[in-house]
């Protein structure tokens, strides 16, 4: 379908995130990746050290993210204090516990040499102290997690609120070359990535750094010799991780890529299952699936195998470190340089030291992923907006004066979706109040584009449009759009009840008004046939009612709003012939006294129009009534008679 002809006015404005495809475009805020980095990494799993997607401006993006954290700086300060205190308490624990081990060991030695006994009272006191340290640390960590989770959720709420507000401020032009799935990705994947980083990695980063420093300090206070031995294991661990990551990265990349290909293929095949069956495409669909699935299988098992051996190898290196520390500790203990309790505490600190190294590496990677996600969000929030226009003083008085008459003037309007490629070249017309105006022409002539300009979905490149003598560029867009009721060929309903959908254009409508509009649109009888009646909840895809019933509800919605002007785009194309006749009568009653614009493809439905504008290549080539245009034997007559020829009927007018 030609771009000019698709009724995008409502589907892009009112349902901006309906598309799930998520394909990329060349826009700066485009989602090049739809996956969730934080969820993929698992914050510490075998894929934690996989190189992640990077942002173009890490520092700039983090500064913007910190600006969102500004209102919560005192809460963040509390989090840092709590995380530091909890880490210090947990770090001190092994050292204190080591004194209990030393006391027990000395008591056993005294008992064996019959020079004394085990001091259980002292051991019990030490154990109670350790218990108090660990319990206090756990309580502080719980409070810290509660505070940081609250901050993260508030930031997430603010980001999503800003994104949806941004969508409503963006011009329609911004959506012409943008896939709706990209916007959906901003509100879901990218915001969730930021949320997970704030709620998990923020406090974990503080804890890991403090644990790393604290453990190193405590290890040095016990024995610098054992600390040196423990540190020698780190380069080996890093080399192993780098070795595995370099070999598994390409398989993870292929796995993620073909997982998307496979999901897309399955969605496409099942979404068009009827077409596949009708044209015998089952074998081809299965063959494509097997090819994609085979590639996914090969990459998946290789990546999972390589990542699964990382932890056993890390544990092996860690155990080598423990053995080396234990042997050196035993030798130092024999020389009275350390105590047995110090060795036990040191072994705990070794574990506390090596684990944060992996966590810090993981967090640094997650921060890169988060910066990339936040950058896409901020790029989107910084994109083009519609000017926030205010009505000029004269227009305010006219608006407040009451109901408009409905006189519409187009004065030398020129417009094109792409600069330098005009669709409407020089359009001028005057529509008097209460007239029914039909706009006809071949596909791509500019019919739907004309309506978009009328409702200020787009602005003309030159020329102007006036309503009751007021240039609409001087009026708020919301006011201009409130003067029109739209019924499009594509039906747009929302998740909610039938009552909510009919009352969408008039939220304060009374029940009797709503039912009256439904009756006028011949929708009341089928609505009452449902057990729930007007409380029937339409599902997300509105598949629990027929296409014709959906159209009737959109017509009822326009009838309830009773706007001063109407725009109808083949509004009865999806209903049966009998219902179409009834609706046309209702629409005639609705249009009486209202300026109406009817975009027509079936020319037989607009014979009674007060004015027919015949468009071709963005210009009005003919205008007049049905009879006048047929008598001219021009472009309109050719269009009209060709439709009757195709239908096998007799021409209404013969032209030589």
Please give the distance of CA 641 from its chain centroid, rounded to a whole number. Answer: 48
Chain position carrying tokens 């049905």 = 626
**For position 135, what pLDDT does the model report?**
92
97 exposure class (CB count in 10 Å sphere: 0-12, 13-18, 19+)? buried
**For position 32, what pLDDT does the model report?**
37
Instruction: Give the whole-angstrom CA distance, residue 236 versus residue 242.
Output: 10
Instruction: Give the whole-angstrom CA distance, residue 368 versus residue 381.
Output: 20
Taking the CA atoms of 268, 270, 274 and 277 in sequence, report the sign of the dihedral they define: positive
Low-confidence ranges of the chain (pLDDT < 50): 1-49, 401, 646-650
Which residue from 652, 648, 559 is spatially nearest to 603, judged by alpha carbons? 652
Instruction: Give the whole-angstrom CA distance, residue 527 versus residue 534.
Output: 6
219 exposure class (CB count in 10 Å sphere: 0-12, 13-18, 19+)? buried
**For position 20, what pLDDT does the model report?**
34
Q: Which domains does the chain have, with CATH numbers?
A: 40-221+361-386 (1.20.1560.10), 389-483+597-656 (3.40.50.300)
pLDDT in tens, 497-545: 889 989 887 888 888 889 988 888 888 888 999 888 898 888 766 667 8
Instruction: Give the whole-angstrom CA distance, residue 444 versus residue 429.
Output: 19
Instruction: Give the whole-angstrom CA distance, residue 495 versus residue 501.
Output: 8
Instruction: Give the whole-angstrom CA distance, residue 237 versus residue 310.
Output: 10
pLDDT in tens, 339-369: 878 887 888 788 777 777 767 766 766 777 7
Please report, to the nearest 10 degrees, the dihedral formed by the alpha carbons of residues 538, 544, 548, 552 taken in order: -30
**For position 345, what pLDDT does the model report?**
81
Eight-class DSSP state of 598: E
DSSP string, 252-305: HHHHHHHHHHHHHHHHHHHHTHHHHHHTT-HHHHHHHHHHHHHHHHHHHHHHHH
Helix or strand run (H / E) with residue 157: helix 120-169
Which residue from 162, 189, 167, 163 is spatially nearest to 178, judged by alpha carbons? 167
Instruction: Give the whole-angstrom CA distance, residue 98 versus residue 417.
Output: 75
- Asked whether 166 and 380 are in contact (CB, 8 A), the reply is yes
**For position 648, what pLDDT does the model report?**
45
- Asked whether 569 and 451 are in contact (CB, 8 A), the reply is yes
Where b means 16+ CB within 10 Å and e means fewer, 377-393 reads bbbbbebeebeeeebee
Instruction: Give the whole-angstrom CA distance, residue 651 versus residue 649.
Output: 7
For 101, the token pair is: 């081990």
Instruction: Give the whole-angstrom CA distance, residue 492 versus residue 263.
Output: 27
Write the CA distances from 213 to 98, 108, 227, 345, 352, integer angstroms.
Answer: 19, 34, 13, 16, 10
Q: Helix, strand, or coil here: 415?
A: strand
**For position 47, what pLDDT does the model report?**
47
């Amino acid at each position: 379908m030609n771009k000019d002809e698709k009724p995008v006015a409502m589907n892009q404005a009112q349902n901006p995130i309906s598309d799930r495809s998520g394909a990329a475009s060349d826009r700066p805020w485009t989602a090049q990746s739809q996956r969730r980095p934080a969820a993929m990494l698992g914050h510490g799993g075998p894929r934690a050290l996989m190189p992640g997607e990077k942002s173009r401006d890490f520092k700039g993006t983090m500064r913007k993210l910190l600006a969102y954290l500004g209102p919560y700086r005192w809460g963040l300060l509390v989090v840092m204090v709590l995380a530091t205190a909890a880490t210090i308490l947990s770090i001190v624990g092994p050292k204190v516990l080591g004194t209990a081990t030393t006391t027990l060991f000395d008591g056993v030695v005294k008992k064996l040499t019959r020079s004394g006994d085990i001091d259980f009272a002292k051991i019990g006191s030490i154990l109670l102290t350790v218990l108090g340290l660990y319990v206090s640390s756990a309580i502080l960590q719980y409070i810290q997690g509660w505070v940081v989770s609250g901050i993260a959720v508030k930031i997430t709420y603010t980001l999503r609120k800003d994104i949806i507000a941004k969508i409503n401020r963006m011009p329609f032009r911004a959506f012409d070359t943008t896939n709706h799935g990209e916007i959906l990705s901003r509100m879901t994947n990218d915001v969730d990535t930021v949320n997970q980083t704030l709620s998990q990695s923020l406090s974990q980063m503080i804890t890991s750094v403090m644990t790393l420093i604290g453990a190193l300090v405590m290890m040095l206070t016990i024995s610098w010799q054992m600390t040196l031995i423990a540190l020698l294991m780190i380069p080996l661990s890093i080399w192993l991780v780098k070795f595995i990551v370099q070999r598994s990265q390409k398989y993870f990349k292929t796995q993620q890529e073909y997982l998307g290909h496979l999901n897309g293929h399955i969605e496409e095949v099942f979404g068009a299952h009827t077409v596949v069956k009708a044209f015998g495409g089952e074998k081809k669909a299965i063959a494509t699936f097997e090819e994609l699935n085979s590639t996914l299988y090969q990459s998946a098992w290789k990546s999972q195998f390589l990542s699964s051996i990382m932890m056993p190898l890390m544990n092996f290196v860690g155990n080598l470190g423990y053995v080396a520390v234990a042997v050196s500790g035993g030798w130092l203990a024999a020389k009275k340089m350390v105590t047995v309790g110090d060795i036990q505490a040191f072994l705990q600190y070794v574990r506390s030291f090596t684990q944060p190294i992996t966590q810090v590496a993981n967090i640094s990677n997650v921060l890169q992923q988060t910066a990339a996600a936040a950058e896409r969000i901020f790029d989107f929030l910084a994109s083009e907006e519609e000017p926030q226009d205010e009505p000029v003083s004269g227009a305010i008085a006219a608006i407040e004066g009451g109901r408009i008459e409905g006189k519409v003037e187009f004065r030398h309007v020129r417009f094109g979706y792409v600069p330098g490629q005009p669709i409407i070249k020089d359009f001028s017309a005057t529509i008097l109040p209460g007239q029914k105006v039909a706009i006809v022409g071949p596909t791509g002539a500019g019919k739907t584009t004309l309506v978009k300009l009328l409702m200020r979905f787009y602005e003309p490149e030159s020329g102007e449009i006036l309503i009751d003598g007021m240039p609409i560029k001087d009026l708020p867009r919301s006011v201009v759009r409130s003067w029109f009721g739209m019924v499009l060929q594509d039906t747009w309903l929302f998740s909610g009840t039938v009552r909510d959908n009919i009352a969408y254009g008039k939220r304060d409508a009374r029940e009797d008004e709503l039912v009256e509009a439904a009756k006028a649109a011949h929708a009341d009888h089928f609505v009452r046939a449902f057990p729930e009646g007007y409380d029937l909840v339409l599902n997300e895809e509105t598949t629990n009612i027929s296409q014709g019933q959906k159209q009737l509800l959109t017509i009822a919605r326009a009838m309830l709003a009773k706007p001063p002007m109407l725009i109808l785009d083949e509004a009865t194309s999806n209903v049966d012939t009998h219902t179409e006749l009834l609706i046309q009568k209702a629409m005639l009653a609705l249009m009486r006294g209202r300026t109406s614009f009817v975009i027509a493809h079936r020319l037989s439905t607009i014979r009674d129009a007060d004015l027919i504008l015949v468009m071709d290549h963005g210009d009005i080539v003919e205008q007049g009534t049905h009879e006048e245009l047929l008598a001219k034997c021009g472009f309109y007559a050719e269009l009209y008679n060709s439709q009757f020829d195709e239908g096998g009927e007799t021409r209404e007018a013969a032209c030589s």
